[in-house]
């Protein structure tokens, strides 16, 4: 099904539905940056950075079929050298991991309780080790959008009655040199320009209700509820009301020519 088919619905999860985001840094294990305008991903010795983002999914109706789902992130800056790149995977976080977004800005704040930081991040059993998809982010990425297909995560989350879904952004490959400051930054929900904040686009269609058919030659009986509304003004000065309704039998018989 695509956008020209009847019943197709495309849901752009709004900025208000970006519930949380943040960065965890191996170099500052007890610091959270939940209020920063960017989240980082990096992969180098003692300097790894992972990011986490959560979206609200409650506006997706139950019982629909998901046709496509895409997470789009805007690269706001990078510190890669010429020709370098970082591969980043988008992993679904299971509902067993509960986290809080801190308020730390550029300087960060001490990480407390369940605030997301390196000391409190998803363990190996709290996220899907296989990413929904990966993307190679090259030097010169600043000012560009990068998309990740996340349909498998959305289908899983809906089938397991998740109201929210978190994506864990971690590096899975690198093409970097010896300099250990290689980092990619993505705009967060705090970014000044709302148009480049993280986006979750979900396409789905409803499944039509099907009345099962009986064997050939048999009858189909279907009951219906009838709702009758009467305005209060019509009820004035009426002492007694009688209602008579007759529903004629309806029968459909299937036969083969």
pLDDT digits (tens, 9 = 90+) for 104-161: 999 999 999 999 999 999 999 999 999 999 999 999 999 999 999 999 999 999 999 9
Under the banding of pLDDT at 50, 70 and 90, the label for residue 178 is low
What's the mean pLDDT in 14-30? 89
Under the banding of pLDDT at 50, 70 and 90, the label for residue 17 is confident
| Greatest pairwise CA separation for the chain in angstroms | 93
Beta strand 133-138 with 65-78 is: unpaired
Task: Write down the pLDDT at residue 210.
Answer: 62
SS3 at position 210: coil
Whether 50 contacts 192, CB under 8 Å: no
Whether 57 contacts 163, CB under 8 Å: yes
Task: Write down the pLDDT at residue 220.
Answer: 53
Beta strands of the chain (E only): which ranges?
8-13, 18-25, 31-32, 38-42, 49-56, 65-78, 85-93, 109-110, 133-138, 144-149, 164-175, 183-187, 199-205
- pLDDT one-digit tens code per residue, 202-237: 999 887 666 565 565 555 555 545 444 445 444 454
Question: How high is the mean pLDDT of the chain?
Answer: 83
Under the banding of pLDDT at 50, 70 and 90, the label for residue 165 is very high
With a cut of 60, say whether residue 68 has pLDDT above it: yes
Task: Write down the pLDDT at residue 173.
Answer: 78
Beta strand 49-56 with 18-25 is: antiparallel
Q: What percent of the chain has pLDDT over 90?
A: 61
Q: Give the whole-angstrom CA distance, residue 155 versus residue 125.
A: 19
Q: Give the whole-angstrom CA distance, residue 89 versus residue 133.
A: 6
With a cut of 60, say whether residue 247 has pLDDT above it: no
Q: Give the whole-angstrom CA distance, residue 118 versus residue 102.
A: 13
Which CATH architecture describes the domain 8-205?
A: Sandwich (2.60)
Which are the contacts of 59, defined by CB distance < 8 A and separation ≥ 6? 11, 13, 17
Task: Write down the pLDDT at residue 182.
Answer: 85
Q: Give the whole-angstrom CA distance, residue 69 versus residue 183.
A: 26
With a cut of 50, say whether residue 33 has pLDDT above it: yes
Which are the contacts of 104, defined by CB distance < 8 A and separation ≥ 6? 31, 32, 33, 34, 35, 36
């Amino acid at each position: 099904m695509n956008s020209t088919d009847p019943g197709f619905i495309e849901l752009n999860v709004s900025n208000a539905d970006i519930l949380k985001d943040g960065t965890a840094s191996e170099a500052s294990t007890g610091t959270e940056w939940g209020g920063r305008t960017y989240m980082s991903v990096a992969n180098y010795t003692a300097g790894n950075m992972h990011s986490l983002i959560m979206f609200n999914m409650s506006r997706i109706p139950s019982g629909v079929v998901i046709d496509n789902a895409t997470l789009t992130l805007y690269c706001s800056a990078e510190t890669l050298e010429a020709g370098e790149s970082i591969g980043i995977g988008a992993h679904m976080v299971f509902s067993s991991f509960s986290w809080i977004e801190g308020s730390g800005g550029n300087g960060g704040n001490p990480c407390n309780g369940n605030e997301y930081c390196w000391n409190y991040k998803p363990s190996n059993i709290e996220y899907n080790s296989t990413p929904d998809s990966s993307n190679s982010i090259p030097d010169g990425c600043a000012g560009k959008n990068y998309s990740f297909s996340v349909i498998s995560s959305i289908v899983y989350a809906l089938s397991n009655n998740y109201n929210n879904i978190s994506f864990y952004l971690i590096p899975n490959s690198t093409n970097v040199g010896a300099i250990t400051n290689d980092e990619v930054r993505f705009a967060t929900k705090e970014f000044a320009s709302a148009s480049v904040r993280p986006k979750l686009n979900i396409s789905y269609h409803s499944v039509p209700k099907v009345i099962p058919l009986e064997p050939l030659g048999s009858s189909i009986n279907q009951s219906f509820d009838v709702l009758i509304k009467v305005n209060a003004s019509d009820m004035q000065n009426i002492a007694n009301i009688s209602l008579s309704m007759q529903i004629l039998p309806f029968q459909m018989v299937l036969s083969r020519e």
